[in-house]
Amino acid sequence: MRSVSVFSALAAASAVQAGPTQKRQSTFQPITVKGNAFYAGDKRFFIRGVDYQPGASSGNIDPLAEPDVCRPDIEKFQKLGINTIRVYSTDNSKDHSVCMNLLKDAGIYVVLDANNPKYSINRAKPGPSYNPTYLQSVFATIDEFAKYENTMAFFSGNEVIHDEKETTLAARYVKAVTRDMRQYIRTRASRPIPVGYSAADVQQNRMQTAAYFNCGTDDERSDFFAFNDYSWCTSDFVTSGWDKKVEAFKDYGLPIFLSEYGCIKNTRDFGEIGALMSPNMTHVYSGGLMYEYTYEENKFGIVTISDKAQKGPRKELPEFAAFQKAMEKFPAPTDDAGASPTQKAQACPTVDEHWMVSSTLLPAMPEGAKVYLKDGAGKGPGLDGPGSQDAGGGDTADAEPGSGAGGSTGGSTDKSAGVMVKADRVAFVVSGLAMLSTIVGAVLL
């Protein structure tokens, strides 16, 4: 009976330390950054997935908060053989445990945009839109999803910088958001989660944008860079110009992947997957996300859904089978595939005919948002809140370089590996061990 009591005491102590539990897969590993690639444990991870937003942004539906929406789609994801989805808009006031755990059970990671249509940086008025109300929503999204092991990464922005030269002025504010998100994760989250930017398919400022998000002090630099690419139109590696992009990014120094890829000018055969998984690209790129899963007004999707609530039957279009076939034909490499073990920063871009940012300094985090680093963001405003772009409290002074305190949130760079345990968590573990020792000692008496 004593041994039973000991095991009971151990179980009780474990329950006290762990708190509410979720279904776990023993082989499931959060994604980290090492050098210029992603890793699940010690194995290199390639993104092989789809962009997923049923109803598009105008539908104002969070598919991860609606089990009746996500469940049938997860069955399709498994049929396709993907390992990652990107979700553009989520409701940070709702619970996502059912869908996130179903995705985890299916072995699928999630890349999330931290913004939504009402809470985002306004490229036309970036200064006022970078304010405490906006950051509270961003941080609330982090709070909601950081607890799930299959949350792979966060985007700090999507296509904010575009083909109009003046939109490059918004880069300072998006980069400030990146810094703030990374600081919040280091301060509040229980594990490192990479943060980066998703750039538009704009040739004239793509390289300047990439350099900008990888220049400056460690706290200011992104953990990865992603961009959208629509240049492969049932083509090949050279005709599409992908060979030149690989050459341009070969010494970038951070993980790179395609946050959207696709072209519907010709019948889609998804030959992009073959290139992305080949030695032509794997030393630089870490895969990509096919645009997109559901068939919307832009006609890119591979599945139709019959009702506005996105809960009706899923009909596979011919492109579904073509994508599935390409996924089977072009598996991911099983080794490091030429990845570099080290990272390096870029020089900040200078002003030219396509780039208007003249300062390397970033706006300081608004004073009203700093309380969230200490107390947490609290309940998010969701998708139906009043919005943040005109909420006030923005247009802050410039910050001192390094004010974001620390380096990578990707988890395994040279500077951050092994040091991302917070003092309060250490104290909690020590206290828990002391309590466990007391319990076991009492039982053995």
Backbone angles phi, psi at 105, to 5 degrees: -60, -25
Alpha-carbon gap, residue 82 to 320, rounded angstroms: 12
Q: Could you tell me the CA-to-CA distances from 246 to 163, 241, 280, 409 in Å, in that order?
A: 21, 9, 8, 25
Alpha helices in 250-292 (DSSP H): 272-276
List active site positions: 159, 260
Task: Determine the Cα–Cα distance for residues 240 and 263; give it in Å rounded to an integer.
Answer: 11
Encoding tokens for residue 286? 């870490």
With beta carbons less than 8 A apart as the criterion, state whether 160 and 170 touch: yes
My answer on whether omega of the bond before 353 falls inside 30° of 0, hence cis, is: no
Q: How many CA atoms lie within 13 A of 105 on its CB side?
A: 11
Helix H or strand E encompassing 196: strand 195-199
For 194, residues 6+ apart whose C-beta sits below 8 A from its C-beta are 31, 32, 33, 38, 152, 153, 154, 223, 224, 255, 408, 409, 410, 411
Rounded distance, CA 237 to CA 266, Å? 16
DSSP, collapsed to helix, strand or coil, labels residue 284 as coil
d(CA 206, CA 229): 11
* Contact between 64 and 100 (Cβ < 8 Å): yes
Give the burial class of 306: count Cβ atoms within 10 A of its Cβ; 0-12 exposed, 13-18 middle, 19 or more buried: exposed
Q: Burial of 219 by CB count in 10 Å (0-12 exposed, 13-18 middle, 19+ buried)?
A: buried
CB contact set of 167 (below 8 Å; sequence gap of 6+): 123, 124, 160, 161
Beta bridge partner(s), residue 398: 363
Across 275-368, where does the E strand assignment appear?
285-290, 303-305, 314-316
Answer yes or no: are the C-beta atoms of 81 and 324 closer than 8 Å.
Answer: yes
With beta carbons less than 8 A apart as the criterion, state whether 32 and 38 touch.
yes
